[in-house]
């Protein structure tokens, strides 16, 4: 195992990303000397700077400096100037998965994975453990709503981490407890086929020791296979769900009350109590159910855990209500997969049954659009109006025949429109929206700025 010793100088390439900024935060708090570079600055990197890290804007060979090791984002190519400089100087270069075992060494490691919901579930677990005075260390792929943090070192034994499957990062973990919320093909630029993704998850589950616990959603068809396989060989497993009556923990009687989602928890078929969530949707019921199981496993009683969930504020860009003006509610959401989009639209309909639902979608990466085109075409069927912006390319180059215009042409929705730019989207919304309405900005790119722009325009009007 890689040895990390406080006081070492570690350089991060791509430090503004959610994954690297969190690792940098943990190591900085443990006494390491942190430098990093990225094209952009964020509030997370600015917070690192305030606490002593050195952050460079842009990339240059000189910025590697006297680093003893370098950590590079998965998005950084091997011919990057800082990587090449480090290699020429004999400085070892690692990816996230290469250092995580050393970062989390000595803790009871709780790894929360899944194609959808892992950020919210991780944040819920952290919040409950904090409220239950367990003070965990943690890494999560977004800023938690209650604290504004995405990572930290606690005094407790638990280390809670969002286990990212991209680039097989979660293969570098050594978990004692795993949560799998669901498994569905995603990241087609890395996992070329569903089989590759499932194989990656199989290896992740295989990292558990013989006494390690798997917590899995039995409603999900693929996760249920892992559950069944562990039951056959008598390995520890706790299942949860809504639809499947065989679940060890189950949510029933789900309803909306006063802009809150309320449900009853059954444990081994017996009622335990009710849970109230500020976040809407059945998907968040499942996320919170998984968090309750982890809390129970960590010795937190149900009453304390359920009480913590009533105060839970979701991670940024997860049904994040950015503002309301003239009975128009603006919601920013990270949904960028057909399943996530459908769930977010349904959650909005459940929470605001008398509002028109506007879905403003910024497609994310050409490979994802190409792979899931059929799913995207029908993902918006339950919205009243759909607005599609240009594709956010992220790390990709354009693909022939793949464009937002083509998507709109293939959609059969009665009210769908293409917006040539984000500014055009704001203008279309300003002209066409009639209250009461909910605007869902569905984007893993930069379309979240539509929220501020629309609210600013509305205020000026």
Report the catalytic residues: 118-119, 162
CB atoms within 10 A of CB 262: 15
| Rounded-to-integer distance, Cα 78 and Cα 93, Å | 10
Distances, alpha carbon 260 to alpha carbons 116, 249, 314, in Å: 22, 21, 13
| Rounded-to-integer distance, Cα 124 and Cα 216, Å | 16
Angle at 285 between CA 248 and CA 381, to 5 degrees: 125
Question: Nearest to residue 282, comparing CAs of 195, 217, 199?
Answer: 217
For helices 194-206 and 221-232, give the axis angle rounded to 10 degrees: 40
| Rounded-to-integer distance, Cα 359 and Cα 345, Å | 8
Q: Is 365 left (phi over 0), alpha (psi -120 to 50) or beta?
A: left
Q: Cβ contacts of residue 98 below 8 Å, gap of 6+?
A: 2, 172
Q: Cβ contacts of residue 368 below 8 Å, gap of 6+?
A: 186, 187, 188, 189, 336, 337
Chain-centroid distance, C-alpha 126: 14
Chain-centroid distance, C-alpha 358: 23
Question: Nearest to residue 293, comparing CAs of 315, 269, 311, 266?
Answer: 266
Q: Is 23 left (phi over 0), alpha (psi -120 to 50) or beta?
A: alpha
Residues forming beta bridges with residue 11, ordered by sequence position: 35, 70
For helices 449-460 and 422-432, give the axis angle rounded to 10 degrees: 50
| Rounded-to-integer distance, Cα 263 and Cα 280, Å | 11
What is the rounded (10 degree) CA torsion for 129, 132, 133, 137?
0
| Rounded-to-integer distance, Cα 290 and Cα 284, Å | 10
Q: Please, are residues 48 and 69 in contact by the beta-carbon 8 Å criterion?
A: no
| Rounded-to-integer distance, Cα 208 and Cα 100, Å | 15
CB atoms within 10 A of CB 232: 8
Chain-centroid distance, C-alpha 390: 23
| Rounded-to-integer distance, Cα 113 and Cα 312, Å | 20
């Amino acid at each position: 195992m890689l040895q990390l010793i406080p006081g070492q100088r570690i350089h991060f390439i791509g430090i503004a990303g959610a994954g690297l900024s969190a690792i940098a935060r943990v190591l900085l708090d443990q006494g390491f000397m942190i430098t990093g570079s990225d094209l952009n600055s964020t509030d997370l990197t600015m917070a690192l700077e305030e606490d002593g890290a050195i952050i460079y804007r842009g990339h240059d060979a000189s910025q590697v400096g006297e680093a003893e090791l370098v950590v590079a984002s998965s998005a950084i190519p091997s011919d990057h100037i800082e990587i090449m400089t480090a290699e020429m100087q004999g400085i070892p270069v690692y990816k996230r998965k290469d250092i995580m075992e050393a970062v989390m060494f000595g803790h009871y490691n709780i790894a929360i994975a899944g194609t959808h919901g892992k950020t919210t579930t991780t944040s819920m677990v952290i919040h409950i453990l904090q409220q239950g005075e367990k003070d965990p260390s943690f890494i999560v792929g977004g800023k938690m709503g209650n604290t504004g943090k995405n990572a930290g070192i606690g005094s407790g034994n638990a280390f809670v981490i969002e286990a990212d499957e991209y680039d097989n990062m979660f293969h570098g973990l050594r978990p004692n407890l795993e949560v799998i919320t669901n498994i569905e093909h995603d990241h087609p630029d890395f996992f070329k086929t569903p089989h590759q993704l499932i194989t990656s998850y199989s290896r992740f589950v295989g990292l558990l020791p013989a006494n390690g616990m798997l917590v899995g959603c039995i409603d999900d068809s693929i996760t249920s296979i892992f559950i069944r396989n562990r039951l056959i060989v008598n390995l520890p497993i706790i299942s949860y769900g809504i639809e499947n009556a065989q679940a060890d923990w189950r949510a029933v009687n789900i309803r909306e009350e006063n802009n809150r989602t309320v449900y009853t928890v059954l444990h081994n078929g017996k009622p335990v109590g009710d849970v109230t969530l500020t976040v809407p949707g059945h998907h968040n019921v499942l996320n919170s159910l998984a968090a309750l199981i982890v809390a129970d496993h960590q010795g937190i009683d149900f009453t304390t855990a359920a009480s913590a969930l009533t105060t839970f504020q979701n991670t940024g860009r997860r049904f994040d209500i950015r503002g309301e003006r003239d009975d128009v509610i603006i919601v920013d959401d990270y949904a960028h997969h057909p399943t996530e989009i459908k769930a977010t639209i349904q959650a909005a309909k459940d929470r605001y049954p008398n509002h028109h639902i506007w879905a403003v979608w910024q497609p994310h990466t050409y490979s994802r659009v190409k792979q899931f085109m059929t799913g995207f075409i029908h993902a918006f069927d339950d919205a009243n109006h759909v607005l599609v912006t240009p594709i956010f390319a992220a790390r990709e180059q354009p693909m022939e025949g793949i464009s937002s215009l083509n998507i709109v042409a293939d959609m059969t929705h009665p009210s769908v429109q293409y917006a040539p730019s984000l500014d055009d989207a704001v203008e279309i919304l300003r002209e066409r929206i009639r209250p009461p309405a909910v605007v869902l900005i569905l984007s893993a790119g930069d379309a979240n700025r539509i929220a501020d722009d629309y609210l600013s325009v509305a205020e000026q009007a």
